[in-house]
Structure 1
Amino acid sequence: MEQDNLSVVLHSQGDLRLEKRPVPEPGPNEVLLQMHSVGICGSDVHYWQHGRIGDFVVMKPMVLGHEASGRVVKVGSAVKHLQVGDRVAVEPGVPREMDEFFKNGRYNLSPTIFFCATPPDDGNLCRYYTHSANFCYKLPDNVTFEEGALIEPLSVGIHACRRADVTLGSTVLICGADLFPERLAMAKELGADFQLTVKRGDGPQQLATRVENMLGDQPHITIECTGVESSIQAAIYATRSGGVVVLVGLGSEMATIPLINAAVREVDIRGVFRYCNTWPMAIAMLASGKVNVKPLVTHRFPLEQAVQAFETTRQGLGIKVMLKCDQNDQNP
């Protein structure tokens, strides 16, 4: 094991550094992971560029990264289900206490939850990282480290679909990729039936009409992934009466929306905050081949080139930029 722990550390707005930190020791219920693949999320870039997301403010140096997988290199004394050498995916949100949210299965809503790379909690964009063993999930042999890292964003989708009650036969509108032709092309490649490019000057109601004309009917469910006010408005207008709008994207705290339109048509508006209880399903999806996330990785960088990787993400040059943390294994 290396003696230094190269880490990507955000000190303050715009101040991103590579630093060598000590290799941590796992507690009784933790494992020490040699990190392998860590994806860069939009939230990582946002913290770098703005120093905060809402009420979460970077007040002290923080290791970034929360879309992660790695290999177990040491286990805590109380850990029974994992052993050295196991390949695992990391669920970044770990409840700190057994509160009412934990007990009713919605631990993502616990106000005291630990979450990687959300101030003041450090993330896992580093060579070595300790994490609760109960929130590390063994990867089947046919699931790669990169797929393991992509379970985190996949989990956002799974949780959103659960919140929306998506079932076989549901017609679903997804708002979020429509300003970038290459992302629309990727959506089509991965299973979207139709793509709609937003035109300059399109109003929310015009967009809703275009959606209905394209589908031949209004969608049962709309999953809004931008947080942009006009997109939320379009999502509500586009959804059929009795349907559901799920808000995944986070924007301004206040938004003007056609609430009465939704109310009189009994369109439910539901929020999403991260995910919970999704890793087993996501792993099963990937292992079975029912879901293919591999094409989403468009760029790979060694950990030493983290600043360049973050700049690539900021410029929107790829879909998912992956950092490779193990010097001796740069494979997917």
Structure 2
Amino acid sequence: MPVATSSKGQYLHGPKTLQLEERPLSAPGPDEVQIAIRSTTLCGSDVHYYTYNRNGSIEVKEPLCGGHEAAGVIVALGQDVQKFSVLRPGDKVAIESGVPCENCTKCCKGMYNVCSKLRFRSSGASFPHFQGTLQEYVNHPARWCHKLPESLSYDDGALLEPLSVCIHAVKKARMEKGQTCLVFGAGAVGLLSAAVAKIEHGNRVVIVDIDPGRVDFAVREGFADVGFTTTLKRGGTLEENLGVAKEVAVEIGKLSWPQGSEVGRFDVVLECTGVETCVHTSIYAADSGGKVVLIGMGTATQFWPISEITGREIDIISVWRYAFCYPRAIEIMDAVARQGLAPDVRKLITHRFKGLDSIPEAYETAAKTRDTRSQLVIKSVVNL
């Protein structure tokens, strides 16, 4: 396959302002491979950048190509790649989009996900921005490309990125077999977190969301044993909001497992929304000595009931992306594809879009929970 010398992609120039651009592309560097992108699934952070031209406190400083959950086919190798890698032209690969320095203390300890020099595709955190995968081709370090088995499609490869986030979260929670687990948020990350808790530890799972369709999907497809649809209750003061959170935690605890026993409090709560009231409820819903794992990015500054945390020895665990999780993600996805391992995480892709011109519509759809035909939206993928 010939080496590409340019790449067309959709670049964000402001809130909901995309331009199709063709930019020059150099030959892959000595340790890089050139990849023709085939699938990119859209993430919540992509949608935030598209909608607001920022993600939380991170502002876009130059036109940004979105997309970081991606897979493609290798079309060319840098001159040194064959010396240290098994990758060859024609290989299907998933792209691990974060590229750390590999030399700092954090990298040497295996914590490359929090490397201060890490560059992450489609993120505005580093400048110049590390452009994303909603384009035809990218050059990427071979070290951070993962060869896919024949059983996996490009779409499967793209889903490995959010699946790795959830594997990392469950690892940090140090879950044990048979524990009970509450998941806040039935979007892609919440569903994948629930799936990992079940696959890795056989945990019983309750999932909570404000969208009844997503809750129904989670229970119907085996991501959770019990579902709970909550409402957006708001108090006028912090104390009133905490009171609402307590009430919701009690309501959840009064649910019953399929076997008939009361749910009660939880060994582990995986909070996948980042919404302050959901974090409050997570704390009240955790059992004494339990854990609350913060996965979702939401409200930047929050007030927590510290006395509840310290008085019942609840561990608050933060997670940021992932480290060394792709190999296990590939094993799980391969078992889903070849052995019918449940739940089937591939079902998270509900909407497919074809070609660069479809990307604006893909963004608009990914920002909703229902499409124009009232069909449930969980994950959108762009195929090139």
TM-score tier after normalising by the smaller chain length: over 0.9
Cα deviation code 1:138-186 (max 9, x no counterpart): 1011111101000011111111101111221111100012111221122
Unaligned ranges ≥5, structure 2: 187-208, 235-243, 257-261, 371-376
Report the counterpart of residue 297 of structure 1 in structure 2. 349
1:84 correspondence with 2:86? no
The structural deviation recorded for 1:192 is 0.5
1:204 correspondence with 2:204? no
Q: What does residue range 162-201 of structure 1 map to in structure 2 within 5 Å?
A: 162-177=171-186, 178-188=209-219, 189-201=221-233
The structural deviation recorded for 1:125 is 1.2
Which amino acid in structure 1 is aligned with residue 11 of structure 2? V
Report the counterpart of residue 158 of structure 2 in structure 1. 149
- Normalised to the residue count of structure 1, the TM-score between the two structures is 0.94
Classify the secondary structure of the residue corresponding to 1:286.
helix
Report the counterpart of residue 113 of structure 2 in structure 1. 108
Report the counterpart of residue 204 of structure 2 in structure 1. none
Report the counterpart of residue 205 of structure 2 in structure 1. none
Report the counterpart of residue 17 of structure 1 in structure 2. 19
Report the counterpart of residue 319 of structure 1 in structure 2. 378
1: distance between equivalents of 2:43 and 2:176?
28
Report the counterpart of residue 140 of structure 2 in structure 1. 131
Classify the secondary structure of the residue corresponding to 1:157.
helix
Which amino acid in structure 2 is aligned with residue 78 of structure 1? D
1: distance between equivalents of 2:26 and 2:45?
25
1: distance between equivalents of 2:233 and 2:58?
34
Cα deviation code 1:179-212 (max 9, x no counterpart): 1122112211133000001035482111111121
The structural deviation recorded for 1:254 is 1.2
1:285 correspondence with 2:317? no
Of 168, 172, 183, 1:159 maps to 168
Which amino acid in structure 1 is aligned with residue 115 of structure 2? S
Tell me the percent identity.
37
Asked which structure has the greater RCO (Cα within 8 Å, sep 6+), the reply is 1
CA RMSD of aligned residues (A): 1.5
Check the 8 A contact 2:41/2:158 in 1, yes or no: yes
Unaligned ranges ≥5, structure 1: 326-332
Check the 8 A contact 1:24/1:128 in 2, yes or no: no
2: distance between equivalents of 1:185 and 1:19?
41
Residues 1:200 and 1:249: Cα distance change in structure 2 (over 3 Å) = closer
Check the 8 A contact 1:233/1:257 in 2, yes or no: yes
Report the counterpart of residue 267 of structure 1 in structure 2. 314
Report the counterpart of residue 62 of structure 1 in structure 2. 64
Cα deviation code 1:90-145 (max 9, x no counterpart): 11111024101100001000111010101122111111111110110010111111
Cα deviation code 1:239-276 (max 9, x no counterpart): 00001000011122210111110111000001111111
Classify the secondary structure of the residue corresponding to 2:255.
helix
- Normalised to the residue count of structure 2, the TM-score between the two structures is 0.82
